[in-house]
A and B are shown apart, each in its own frame.
Chain A
Amino acid sequence: MNIIDWLRQPWPWYVAGPLIGLMVPLLLVLGNKSFGISSSLRHICAACIPANIPFFKYDWKKEIWNLFFVTGVFIGGVLAASLLSNPGAILIHPKLAEELAGYGITNREGLVPKDLFNWDTLLSVKGIILMVFGGFLVGFGTRYAGGCTSGHAIMGLSTLQWPSLIATISFMAGGFIVANLILPLILKL
């Protein structure tokens, strides 16, 4: 097996997790930057539509490194999908596969289920809830919480911050409630 074939397989958690953890010291040593993503959404607001709101009136150009970083994440997605993609469907827990098949979700190619997230379903009630409303909650919630999985769960916990522990527990609690109790109702639509 050559190295490209080897890289193409899905990476196990004990490889990916430590590599993600190394982002923390890498950004600190490169220039005193705290690892995190969700602030980029705030900087985009500050740059494009500040609308005289105090929360968006700051010098976003000083934080431009974060916009370079998320542009890199996008390019990383392009490169991984074009050069290192794993042919075939994602393997998931049989119980989940069975549950999803009950809602007509059987296409497991790619990382985003094509049966749910596509331009045709966007204008259905289900599509609007999943993509528009879901996205809104991600943007509103992360800023209200002061960070996302990267900023709170990884950077914040790494530096032993209480707010980050509280936020991470809240992320998980919110996710458990919706994935188990609410999402099935949405998928039935």
Chain B
Amino acid sequence: MNIKETAKEKKHHDFLLQNTDFEVRSLDDVSINKSELKHPLWYNLKYAVTGILFGIILVKAEVISWFRIQEMFRFQSFHMYGVIGSAVAIGMLSVWLIKKFKIKTIYNEPIEFVSKKPNKGNIYGGLLFGFGWAITGACPGPLFAQIGTGATVIIVTLLSAIAGTWTYGYFREKLPH
């Protein structure tokens, strides 16, 4: 690796550790924008296309089905465990390959992963989400897909989930983390 490349990686590493957006980076490593580049809005259309693919997979694999979630939590079917397990396996392999071969983005940015520290919220919040998952049969992604399949009443569940996120933000400093 030449010096220029090293400097580029160092710069990106520093960027990732900055705490600009009120901990959007330090607390939530998930689903965040780790790119430093600024692009016109339409560049985001590729994420809409990716989302369409993800939505179709969710529906066709029936992982957004309330019935499949009930089967999973009753150990009556392997389906959901197979889906999540094989997704994680492929995800791990991909991340390993990205690290090993220092694969870059299509805009030639380095891809780096920052380790996070556990906090109590992972347990308390995780349990609360588990309760909600068993009741509604949906995680956040499936809510959007379920509405798409024509279950319009799930708009209420989604609005309620937004209200739940807002309430968390409101009480955040008083909650144990």
B3 at the interface (CB under 8 A from A): no
Partner of B140, one of A30, A57, A138, A146: A138
Known contacts A158-B92, A162-B118; is A29 also within 8 Å of B56 by CB? no
Interface class of chain B by DSSP: helix
- A10-B105 contact in complex given A20-B87, A174-B128, C-beta closer than 8 Å: no
**Minimal beta-carbon separation of B89 from chain A (angstroms):** 7
CB distance from A140 to the nearest CB of B (A): 4
- Within B70-103, the residues touching A (CB, 8 Å) are 70-74, 76-95, 97-98, 103
Pairwise interchain contact A17-B64, C-beta atoms closer than 8 A:
no
B1 on the interface (CB 8 Å rule)?
no
A/B pair count, beta carbons within 8 Å = 573
Report the contact-size class of chain B (Cβ under 8 Å from the partner). Answer: 35 or more
- Please indicate the chain A residues that have their CB under 8 angstroms from the CB of B86 in the complex: 13-14, 17-18, 21
B6 proximal to A (CB < 8 A) = no
Given contacts A49-B166, A145-B126, contact A21 B29 (CB under 8 A): no
Select one of A113, A119, A160, A183 contacting B92, CB under 8 A: A160
Q: Which of B69, B149, B165 contacts A143 (CB 8 A)?
A: B165
Task: Assess whether A161 is interfacial by the CB under 8 Å rule.
Answer: yes
Query: Which residue on B lies nearest to A137, using beta carbons?
Result: B132
Q: Is A151 within 8 A of B82, CB to CB?
A: no
- Complex Cα spacing A6 to B64, Å: 20
Contact B67 A142 (CB under 8 A): no
Partner of B133 from the list A133, A138, A150 (CB cut-off 8 Å) is A138
Contact of B105 with A138 in the complex, beta carbons under 8 Å: no
A146 touches B161 (CB 8 A): no
Closest CB pairs A-B (n = 4): A76-B55, A174-B130, A72-B51, A77-B148
Contact surface of A with B, Cβ cutoff 8 Å: 7, 10-42, 44-45, 49, 51, 53-59, 62-66, 68-81, 84, 86, 90, 92-93, 95-96, 100, 108, 110-113, 116-119, 122, 129-164, 166-180, 182-183, 186
